[in-house]
Amino acid sequence: MIKLSVSIDVSNLKQAETFYIEALGCKKVRDQGESMSVLSTENCDIYLQEKEGGTKPVPSDVVKRDYSRHWTPVHLDFLAENVDEIVERVKQHGGSHEGGESAEWGSIAYCADPFGNGFCVINE
């Protein structure tokens, strides 16, 4: 069996820890050196890695880390019973709420952390 973990680059590790713990309910598992910490949800570990903006994530000269709002087709979905409550906490801790929608299946909120990483909060 394969276990999934997620790595999130951030420019400020302490601010990221506070955001993901306070806004999204993650639990801190451990520090992994000075520039990485491991958080956990019920079924996934999240590795927060402090990296300076403008640095290379891969050997290519084309791609550089950018902490302004950005989009990637691979993103996190946080499943929650109360989407509105999570959205309020996201905004209180420096994240953004960028809209959403509701239908018979439930509701979804489009959000971003303080480092420009987009994610969704979806009714469980």
Report DSSP letters for 32-87, one per residue. Answer: -SSSEEEEE-SS-EEEEEE--TT--SSS-SS-----SS---SS-EEEEES-HHHHH
What amino acid occupies position 17? E
Structure-block tokens of residue 123: 């009714």
pTM score: 0.91
- For residue 1, pLDDT over 80 is answered with no
Backbone dihedral angles phi then psi of residue 80, each to the nearest 5 degrees: -145, 155
Find residue 110's DSSP bridge partners.
Answer: 120
CB 94 within 8 A of CB 19: yes
**Could you tell me which residues are beta bridge partners of residue 34?**
none
What residue ranges do the domains of the chain occupy?
5-52+70-123
Q: pLDDT for 48-107, tens place per residue?
A: 999 999 999 999 888 899 999 988 888 999 999 999 999 999 999 999 999 999 999 899
Neighbours of 111 (CB within 10 A): 25
Backbone angles phi, psi at 101, to 5 degrees: -155, 160
Q: Residues 90, 79: contact at Cβ < 8 Å?
A: no
CATH superfamily of 5-52+70-123: 2,3-Dihydroxybiphenyl 1,2-Dioxygenase, domain 1 (3.10.180.10)
